[in-house]
């Protein structure tokens, strides 16, 4: 690989001669501007605004434009006289943990190659020190007319350097986050986690630019005269997500199907995993929550209102049934009471007759008339008492 910069790494009092090599390359396809009428190429020529003449690269210098439009010439000699210590040196300033570097600061990437046999030993020493410390080196260097910030780290057996933006070049993200106060439920987070788990990981080396390949195929076909344009299939643009849970569920199923998994067989298990808990996400990695919608009125819903006529008829029937049940209960109670009264009357009559017979037997001969009179009176009294006792029972039974 061709080096773009030669210099040295300054590691304390140790100097390591290195060559700077681009670590990345662009594979984007570039197009030329042409004249549509005849296909002629359109070129840009560098013309002086003062005399209107075209100038060559050797005649072009640098200049700084003031606010009023005036130009201040700046020569290479002027820049060379500036007190910059990193003109040909990558000066290491400190070592920090890699997670302290904000990825927003990352810029272009370079490989640092040892320049010469004498550089192999100190180069290897710095590489192994970086490996063992699990840290990255922060350095300053000058490239293309300006001083830059860099980060040195180990990639395989090579020291790589990432250009970093200066901290004041990173914009504060004001007004970028959503203004509305949005609350995300645990069930939605569970589905998002399930989608992330379903998509899984990917080998970065397997990713490629599909659009660039399509453009290359089109160019090859047009060059061979066999290109037939076809109507492009345009995916619908993503609109506002109305039902986030449903969209997440469909995404999980689509991801499973794309990976060759049986999404339908796992649907019930996924629904139980999310819907069976309290929605706090503490019961495991739930995946799919079925959306339960309220039943429409008139489809057997328990909360559906009843018709007015039906309600009145039902109330009337219920009232009649309750009245009949009360009458039956009252009649049953009255019959039981009458039967009990009759039984009590018979018992009292037997007792009175027995007493009268005993009195007759025990009376003396001289007193036989009195005894008979007493027995008759007792029998008459018992009959009267029996009638009085039976009267209330008959009255209640007739009622």
Task: Kindly report, residue by residue over 104-152, the tens digit of the pLDDT.
Answer: 999 999 999 999 899 999 999 999 999 999 999 999 998 887 889 999 9
* Sequence-ordered list of residues with C-beta below 8 angstroms from that of 62, at least 6 positions apart, any chain: 73, 74, 75
pLDDT at 388: 55
pLDDT at 270: 52
Residue with the larger pLDDT of the pair 240 and 56 = 56
Compute how many other C-beta atoms are within 10 angstroms of the C-beta atom of residue 160. Answer: 18
> What is the per-residue DSSP string for 251-265?
HHHHHHHHTT--TTT
Kindly indicate the confidence band of residue 153, based on its pLDDT and cuts at 50, 70 and 90: very high
Residue 338 reports pLDDT greater than 60:
no
Mean pLDDT over the full length of the chain = 74
Q: Exposed (0-12), middle (13-18) or buried (19+): which is 150, by Cβ within 10 Å?
A: buried
Could you tell me if residue 149 is left (phi over 0), alpha (psi between -120 and 50 degrees) or otherwise beta? beta
Residue 393 reports pLDDT greater than 80:
no
Would you say 249 and 289 are in contact if contact means Cβ atoms under 8 Å apart?
Answer: yes
- What are 301-336's pLDDT values in tens digits? 444 444 444 444 444 444 444 444 444 444 444 444
pLDDT at 322: 45
Residue 284 reports pLDDT greater than 90:
no
Residue 360 reports pLDDT greater than 50:
no
pLDDT at 146: 83
Residue 273 reports pLDDT greater than 80:
no
Which segment of 67-76, 100-109, 124-133, 224-233 scores lowest on mean pLDDT? Answer: 224-233
pTM of the model: 0.55
pLDDT at 251: 82
* Sequence-ordered list of residues with C-beta below 8 angstroms from that of 134, at least 6 positions apart, any chain: 97, 98
The SS3 of residue 96 is strand
Residue with the larger pLDDT of the pair 184 and 352 = 184
Contacts 24+ apart (CB under 8 A), 204-212: 209/27, 212/27, 212/28, 212/29
> What is the per-residue DSSP string for 269-330?
HHHHHHHTS-SSSTTS-----PPP-PPPTTSS-TTPPPPHHHHHHHHHHHHHHHHHHHHHHH
Q: Give the separation between CA 238 and CA 236, rounded to whole angstroms.
A: 6
Q: Give the separation between CA 351 and CA 166, rounded to whole angstroms.
A: 125
Q: Give the separation between CA 261 and CA 255, rounded to whole angstroms.
A: 9
pLDDT at 37: 94
């Amino acid at each position: 690989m061709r080096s773009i910069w030669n210099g040295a790494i300054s590691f304390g009092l140790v100097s390591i001669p290195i060559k700077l090599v681009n670590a990345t390359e662009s594979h984007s396809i570039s197009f030329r501007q042409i004249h549509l009428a005849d296909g002629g190429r359109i070129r840009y020529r560098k013309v002086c605004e003062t005399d209107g003449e075209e100038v060559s690269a050797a005649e072009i210098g640098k200049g700084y434009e003031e606010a009023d439009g005036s130009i201040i010439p700046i020569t290479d000699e002027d820049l060379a006289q500036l007190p910059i210590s990193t003109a040909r040196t990558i000066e290491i300033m400190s070592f920090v943990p890699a997670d302290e570097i904000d990825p927003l600061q990352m810029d272009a990437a370079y490989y640092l190659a040892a320049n010469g046999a004498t550089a192999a030993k100190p180069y290897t020493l710095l590489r192994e020190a970086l490996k063992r410390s699990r840290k990255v080196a922060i350095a300053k260097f000058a490239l293309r007319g300006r001083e830059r910030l860099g980060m040195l780290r180990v990639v395989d057996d090579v020291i790589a350097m990432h250009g970093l933006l200066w901290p004041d070049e990173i914009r504060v993200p004001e007004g970028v986050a959503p203004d509305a106060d949005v609350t995300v439920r645990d069930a939605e987070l569970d589905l998002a986690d399930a989608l992330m788990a379903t998509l899984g990981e990917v080998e970065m080396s397997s990713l490629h630019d599909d659009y660039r390949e399509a453009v290359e195929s089109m160019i090859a076909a047009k060059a061979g005269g066999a290109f037939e344009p076809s109507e492009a299939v345009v995916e619908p643009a993503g609109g506002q997500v109305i039902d986030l849970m449903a969209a997440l569920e469909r995404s999980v199923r689509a991801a499973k199907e794309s990976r060759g998994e049986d999404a339908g067989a796992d649907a019930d298990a996924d629904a139980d995993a999310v819907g069976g808990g309290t929605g706090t996400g503490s019961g495991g990695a739930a995946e799919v929550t079925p959306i339960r919608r309220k039943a429409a009125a008139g489809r057997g819903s328990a909360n559906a209102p009843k018709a007015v006529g039906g309600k009145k008829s039902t109330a009337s029937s219920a009232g009649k049934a309750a009245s009949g049940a009360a009458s039956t209960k009252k009649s049953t109670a009255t019959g039981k009471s009458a039967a009990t009264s009759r039984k009590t009357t018979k018992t009292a009559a037997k007792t009175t007759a027995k007493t009268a017979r005993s009195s007759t037997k025990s009376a003396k001969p001289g007193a036989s008339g009195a005894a008979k009179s007493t027995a008759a009176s007792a029998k008459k009294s018992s009959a009267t008492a029996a009638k009085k006792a039976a009267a209330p029972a008959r009255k209640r039974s007739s009622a």
